[in-house]
């Protein structure tokens, strides 16, 4: 690997000058500038990140801390984050906390040790881990707001509204809710948005809270079994919806003939399952990209204007809801 010194001696100029050229700073003449550039190019010079990091304290790497790569929402996000980061010359260091606070703390320690410039983070716990405050690096949250940190996520309330309006339009007046964990704002807002946009004379027949990972607990199973008067089941996300569909199918209940169902997220599989799932699409790619852009702004010293960046969601109408 060629170093600044190599180039300097090759061109016959000082190291400082080479450095100045390469970081295009002023105070170096045209001819020398050209010579240095050419030499650097020919010798295939790449700055030694370790040395740079040591001197400047910046690594041009960012951490990405995710709770569960197994949930299809996150790989898509990771892909977007990695790709836009790379286009900005930023390396992405991945931590999958597997939904455990311990793994998260662990991953953070590792990231801090490697002195990443910033962290894009989708927190697992309900509260901020204390070590975060000691993090000297900027943090951008994804999907799960916490006081004091910038966050980018979808307009979940809007999603709930959209769903409610659609349910009404399709003539459903009794719904069952298979909500996600209510300590997660994303789950709560979907639910509240839905309920809030639903007229008073229309009933939530029942509601069960389950995990976002789509494994159904006993209460959920029972609720699905005797569905009460619900003609529509509104699931907290697609994983839940698909699990529910599978569960219903096994009980011989047909979707959407016997009961309708909606999801949330528009993961790839909603389009491939039978019947195809009506759901809310969030712009995952845009969210990931935006998070990186925000980070980049913070890294280059700009103050981030708004603390929250919220993306519109859209209703994807497919085959899992029938007119009632």
Binding residues for a second copy, rule: CB under 8 A, are 46-51, 53-54, 59-61, 64, 69-70, 72, 74-76, 78-79, 82-83, 86, 89, 91-96, 98, 103, 106-107, 109-115, 214, 242-243, 245-246, 249, 268-269, 271-274, 276
Task: Assess 51 for contact with DNA (CB under 7 A).
Answer: yes
Closer Cβ to DNA, 23 or 136, answer by number: 23
Closer Cβ to DNA, 15 or 128, answer by number: 15
Q: What is the 3-state secondary structure (H, E, C) of the chain?
A: CCCHHHHHHHHCCCHHHHHHHHCCCCCCCHHHHHHHHHHHHHCCCCCCHHHHHHHHCCCCEEEEEECCCCCCHHHHHHHHHHHHHHHCCCEEEEEECCCCHHHHHHHHHHHHHCCCCEEEECCCCCCCCHHHCCCCCCEEEECCCCCCCCEEEECHHHHHHHHHHHHHHCCCCEEEEEECCCCCHHHHHHHHHHHHCCCCCCEEEEEEECCCCCCCCHHHHHHHHCCCCCCEEEECCHHHHHHHHHHHHHCCCCCCCCCEEECCECCHHHHCCCCCCEEEECCHHHHHHHHHHHHHHHHCCCCCCCCEEEECCEEECCCCCCCC
Question: Which partner in a second copy, DNA, none is near 31 (CB below 5 to 8 A by kind)?
Answer: DNA
Per-residue binding string, DNA, 52-91, x by CB under 7 A, is: x-xxx-----------------------------------
Q: Which range binds DNA by CB under 7 A, 11-19, 287-295, 296-304, 312-320? A: 11-19
- Closest approach of Cβ 80 to a second copy, in Å? 9
- Closest approach of Cβ 237 to a second copy, in Å? 13
Task: Assess 27 for contact with DNA (CB under 7 A).
Answer: yes
Closer Cβ to a second copy, 46 or 127, answer by number: 46
């Amino acid at each position: 690997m060629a170093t600044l010194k190599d180039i300097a001696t090759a061109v016959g100029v000082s190291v400082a000058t080479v450095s100045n050229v390469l970081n295009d700073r002023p105070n170096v003449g045209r001819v020398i500038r050209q010579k240095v550039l050419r030499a650097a190019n020919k010798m295939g010079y790449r700055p030694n990140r370790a040395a740079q990091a040591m001197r400047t304290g910046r690594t041009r790497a960012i951490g990405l801390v995710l709770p569960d790569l197994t949930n299809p929402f996150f790989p898509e996000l990771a892909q977007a984050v990695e790709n836009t980061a790379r286009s900005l010359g930023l390396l992405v260091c991945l931590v999958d906390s597997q939904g455990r606070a311990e793994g998260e703390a662990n991953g953070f320690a590792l990231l801090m040790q490697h002195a990443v410039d910033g962290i894009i983070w989708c927190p697992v716990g309900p509260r901020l881990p204390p070590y975060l405050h000691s993090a000297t690096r900027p943090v951008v949250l994804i999907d799960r707001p916490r006081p004091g940190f910038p966050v980018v996520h979808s307009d979940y309330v809007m999603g709930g509204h959209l769903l409610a309006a659609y349910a009404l339009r399709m003539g459903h007046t009794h719904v069952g809710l298979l909500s996600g964990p209510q300590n997660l704002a994303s789950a709560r807002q979907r639910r509240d948005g839905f309920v809030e946009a639903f007229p008073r004379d229309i009933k939530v027949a029942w509601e069960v809270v389950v995990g976002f990972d789509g494994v159904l607990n006993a209460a959920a199973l029972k609720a699905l079994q005797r569905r009460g008067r619900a003609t529509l089941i509104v699931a907290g996300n697609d994983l839940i919806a698909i699990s529910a569909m599978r569960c219903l199918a096994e009980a011989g209940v047909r979707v959407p003939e016997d009961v309708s169902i909606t999801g949330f997220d528009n993961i790839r599989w909603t389009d491939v399952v039978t019947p195809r799932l009506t759901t809310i699409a969030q712009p995952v790619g845009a969210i990931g990209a935006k998070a990186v852009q925000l980070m980049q702004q913070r890294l280059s010293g700009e103050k981030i204007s708004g603390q929250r960046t919220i993306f519109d969601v859209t209703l994807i109408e497919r085959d899992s809801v029938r007119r009632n």
